Amino acid sequence: MTAVPAGQDGSKTILIIEDEPDIVRGLSDALAFEGYRAVAASTAAEGLAIAREQAPACVLLDLMLPDENGYRVCEELRQIDHAVPIIMLTAKTQEVDKVRGFEVGADDYVTKPFSVAELIARIGATFRRQERLTGGDESFQIGRWTIDARHRHMTSGRTKKQLTFYELEMLRLLRERGGEPVSREELLDRIWGEEAAPTSRTVDNFVVKLRRKLEEDHKNPQHILTVYGQGYKLEP
């Protein structure tokens, strides 16, 4: 994983791809106050160009941009940098598409109107997770997959799939338990932490996604197992 890019004064660059000037202004001010270097783009094309040139440490991505669908932009950002944290800014009516957001490689999302303080907290949380990840360079095996925690991907033969921060954190936590079940509450608490407020359905959605990635037959899982009334456990 590449080092977190910094501005000339050592501050991390946060790219805001958002076409609503009020949101950009509010976010830029708050990020500058927190010691980040904020760079804004009002179109997808401009945002992707900046992502290529400046390698931001984090991207805040509006889903409704004038020139391109945010999901598509997210996929393109992932091609530019497989590890940069991407936080989607979604309108309330798009809530049903959160799972799709994670599928195209977003790490987190906030729903408009969001609190700037909450978003700042989530940016900090993504950096802390990233630091934890770059701190260890372990890889481990689940079934036919080799999980590379440092580069956040899983490989089997020639097949390679990316993992989001949350997916990897979930696998690590389940793995730490050595086959003991972990409750949804603990997964929520340990992975998402106090800065987010997802529901236990979030955990279940993640497990569904992880199974689709990991299992030969996601409807008949062999690795991520449901323990009735207790939670989930991992059978590597």
- Residues in touch with Ca ion (CB under 5 A): 19, 62, 64
Write the Ramachandran bin of 4: left for phi over 0, alpha for psi from -120 to 50, otherwise beta.
beta
Residue 54: C-alpha distances to residues 32, 40, 215, 218 (Å): 17, 12, 37, 39
| Paired residues of 224 in beta bridges | 234
* Chain residue at closest Cβ approach to Ca ion: 64
Nearest CB to Ca ion, comparing residues 112 and 160: 112
Q: How far is the CB of 60 from Ca ion (least distance, A)?
A: 12
How far is 144 from 142, CA to CA, in rounded Å? 6
User: Are the beta carbons of 190 and 203 closer than 8 angstroms?
Assistant: no
DSSP string, 173-192: HHHHTTT--B-HHHHIIIII
Spell 155-179 as b/e; 16+ CB within 10 A means b. Answer: eeeeeeeebbbbbbbbbbbbbeeee
Q: How far is the CB of 50 from Ca ion (least distance, A)?
A: 17
Q: How far is the CB of 121 from Ca ion (least distance, A)?
A: 23
* Token pair belonging to 173: 């936590």
Is beta strand 37-41 parallel, antiparallel or unpaired with respect to 86-91? unpaired
Q: How far is the CB of 62 from Ca ion (least distance, A)?
A: 4
Nearest CB to Ca ion, comparing residues 63 and 224: 63
The H or E element spanning position 213 is: helix 200-214
Q: How far is the CB of 165 from Ca ion (least distance, A)?
A: 24
Q: How far is the CB of 47 from Ca ion (least distance, A)?
A: 12
Nearest CB to Ca ion, comparing residues 24 and 147: 24
Nearest CB to Ca ion, comparing residues 22 and 217: 22
Nearest CB to Ca ion, comparing residues 44 and 182: 44
Nearest CB to Ca ion, comparing residues 22 and 53: 22
Nearest CB to Ca ion, comparing residues 4 and 87: 87
Burial category of 57 from C-beta neighbours within 10 Å (exposed 0-12, middle 13-18, buried 19 and up): buried
Q: How far is the CB of 23 from Ca ion (least distance, A)?
A: 8
* Dihedral Cα 78, 3, 197, 113, nearest 10 deg: -70
